[in-house]
Amino acid sequence: MSASELHAIVGLGNPGAEYERTRHNAGFWFVDQLADAARTPFRAESKFHGQLARIKLAGHDVLLLKPGTYMNRSGQAVQALAQFYKLAPTSILVAHDELDLPAGTVRLKSGGGHGGHNGLRDIHKALGESYLRLRIGIGHPGDKSLVLNYVLGRPSRDDDVAIHDALISASAAVETWLSRGWERALTELHTAKK
């Protein structure tokens, strides 16, 4: 997969101050971190149903999008962005919270199922399944009946630190992808010290 194929990174989350620090907003945290590092603010873009920032990352122009729709309508924003900029699904990286990975673990993935994630399920309807993912581990509460309150709750202090450290590693891996290739980025991220 070539670096020139990455044109947009979409962070998934729910809009509003009440959701800002909840686990389900881990995708927002990632794109916020990238925008902050580039000293570039997000601006409301109604045609994309969210907030957009344009940054340079490892010398490449990359769009950052935070959908302003709620999680289960994320596909609306992603589809609008893809249609406007004529982006192939394989040029879009979607950063999202991942129950099946422990807090502090991040993984890049190409294509696949939605794993029951409502944001990914809606993006699947809009784009199919060939888009790229950055899976941000938030851990699992241990019981399926507890998942809703868990993802809409705040991480513990230790988990919060672990997640944010992992997002720094993820940023470095995306830069590696853009400068040295996808396979190198996978190796760097997936063999990082635990």
Q: What is the DSSP string of 97-150?
A: EETTS-TT-EEEEES---TT-HHHHHHHHHH-S-SEEEEEE----SSGGGHHHH
How many C-beta atoms lie closer than 10 Å to residue 40's C-beta?
A: 14
| Crossing angle between the packed helical segments 182-190 and 157-180, to the nearest 10 degrees | 150
Opening angle at CA 147, ends 146 and 152, nearest 5: 110
Distance CA 150, CA 9 (A): 25
Distance CA 85, CA 82 (A): 5
Structure tokens at 164: 């944010």
Indicate the residue type of 101.
Answer: L
Residue 113: per-residue pLDDT: 84
CB 45 within 8 A of CB 130: no
Question: Which of 24, 96, 117, 124 is labelled catalytic?
Answer: 24
65: Cβ–Cβ under 8 A, 6 or more apart, which residues?
A: 8, 9, 10, 11, 31, 48, 50, 51, 52, 77, 78, 81
148 exposed, middle or buried (CB, 10 Å; 0-12, 13-18, 19+)? exposed
Distance CA 14, CA 27 (A): 10
Residue 192: per-residue pLDDT: 63
Residue 89: per-residue pLDDT: 95
CB 55 within 8 A of CB 38: yes
Stated pTM of the model: 0.94
Residue 111: per-residue pLDDT: 84
Residue 193: per-residue pLDDT: 56
Please indicate whether residue 24 is annotated as part of the active site: yes
Residue 66: per-residue pLDDT: 98
pLDDT, one tens digit for every residue, the chain (194 residues) = 554 589 999 999 999 999 999 999 999 999 999 999 999 999 999 999 999 999 999 999 999 999 999 999 999 999 999 999 999 999 999 999 999 999 999 999 998 888 888 899 999 999 999 999 999 999 999 999 999 999 999 999 999 999 999 999 999 999 999 999 999 999 999 886 55
